[in-house]
Amino acid sequence: MVFSSGVFVFLFLPGLLLMYYSLKSRTIRNYILLAASLLFYAWGEPVFVFIMTASIFLNWFLSILMSKSSLPKLWLTLAISLDVLLLGVFKYAGFITENLGLARVNIALPIGISFFTFQMMSYVFDVYYGKAEAQKNPLYVALYISFFPQLIAGPIVRYNQIENEITERHENFDDFSEGARRFIYGLGKKVLLANFAAQIADNVFGYIVNPSVMMSWLGAVSYTLQIYFDFSGYSDMAIGLGLMFGFHFEENFNYPYTASSVTDFWRRWHISLSTWFRDYVYIPMGGSRVSHSRRLMNLFAVWLLTGIWHGANWTFILWGLVYFALLVIERETGFKPGHFLTMLAVILAWVVFRADTVAEAVKFIASMFGLSGNALYDGGFISYVKGTWLVMMLAVIGIFPMAGNFLRRYRWIESAWLIAVLGVSVIEIVSSSYNPFIYFNF
């Protein structure tokens, strides 16, 4: 089930809200949220929900043992090893066997496995480092990990961020209205902007042989817009839904396409993942408190793992290492690329991320610079521009904070805008079956 589906918008969410707020007991409300979250996941993954719940209870049990043991590192190692094994089997077994020259092992990938596995690992780490107490009630750990707003696409929520809210949160009208506002904006980003840009990107990357220079750039820019509005829109909806039920999640995006450097970009893009690797990988390895060469190795490990986290393909590994190289250049030279060069690097990196193979990425980038014997532009490009310029213009405006700041200043205008966005989004949900979502693959 996805947030931008008719089943969720018209049935699941209204029914859950009605049931949730008709109850007074905090305990029963929590169990209703847990049951609803498992139903939400089982809607699309009826088999894998059992694997997820088994993994949750195993991590809970090992964390209990760790909190009582004189050898906590032993239980930490066992828990993290099992979590990594879970990811390895379902996400990377085919990639590993294929690259070893063996028959490829094809195993279906559970939706959102990277997200909920990283949340399980963060819970275990937080207990080990004393940032949170081991939760005695396994159902509350299950609620934390499987809570449907952030279950399949983040943000990656730390247990210590919402530990108290599981039992002591206080729902109120202000949070609920702000949550509804965030949800509507996120829904509009996903349904009206991301899905529109996705159709252009899919056509250019998938169906046009040797596109012109301008068509290649249109495809690359469209994918750049698609992945931002797709993922940030989903994060907005997740944060909004959390507020509607009394939970406060950290922001996951902060206008990343306004960044003036690659370092700045990664402070603004997928913040929950960046900080996860910083706190649970980079700092435990010594962070910046070690020698220069060791610090570079720490950075290399983080960005290699960041690439691998996104998928079992050499394109993702290359994508992560490209960012490692760019960040090292900025750190070592003090070079400040500015907004234009930063966005150029980001767009080219997204081409690598989008491509099925490294060879395809190289070929596409070559076409962007006219190195494939392709024309500067063609009739197809002109037709695309005539049919898409208005939505693309709105998308470009949406990557900057000015429009949002203006609407927040004039609340009556924002209210009218929200009603319009919701209305058009609902029409699009009802009338269209095209609803891809990039990060379900991770």
- How far, CA to CA in Å, does 332 sit from each of 133, 336, 342? 40, 11, 17
310 a catalytic residue: yes
CA dihedral sign of residues 211, 216, 218, 219: positive
Q: How confident is the model at residue 216, as a pLDDT?
A: 94
Q: How confident is the model at residue 287, as a pLDDT?
A: 83
Length of the chain in terms of residues written: 442
Per-residue pLDDT tens digits of the chain, which is 442 residues long: 788 888 999 999 999 999 999 998 999 999 999 999 999 999 877 889 999 999 999 999 999 999 998 899 999 999 999 999 999 999 998 888 888 888 888 888 888 899 999 999 999 999 999 998 999 999 999 999 999 999 888 799 999 889 999 999 999 999 999 999 999 999 999 999 999 999 999 999 987 788 899 999 999 999 999 999 999 999 999 999 999 999 999 999 999 999 999 999 999 999 999 999 999 999 999 888 899 899 999 999 999 999 999 988 999 999 999 999 999 999 999 999 999 999 999 999 999 999 999 999 999 999 999 998 888 988 888 888 888 888 889 999 999 999 888 888 888 899 999 999 999 999 988 887 666 667 666 6
Q: How confident is the model at residue 442, as a pLDDT?
A: 63
pTM score, two decimals?
Answer: 0.93
Q: How confident is the model at residue 372, as a pLDDT?
A: 86
Spatial separation of the C-alpha atoms in residues 25 and 317, rounded to whole Å: 48
The tens digit of pLDDT for each residue in 16-45 reads: 999 999 998 999 999 999 999 999 999 877
Spatial separation of the C-alpha atoms in residues 64 and 53, rounded to whole Å: 17
Helix spans in 375-432 (H): 379-398, 402-409, 411-431
Taking a C-beta distance cutoff of 8 angstroms, is the pair 108, 129 a contact? no
**Preceding peptide of 110 cis, ω within 30°:** no
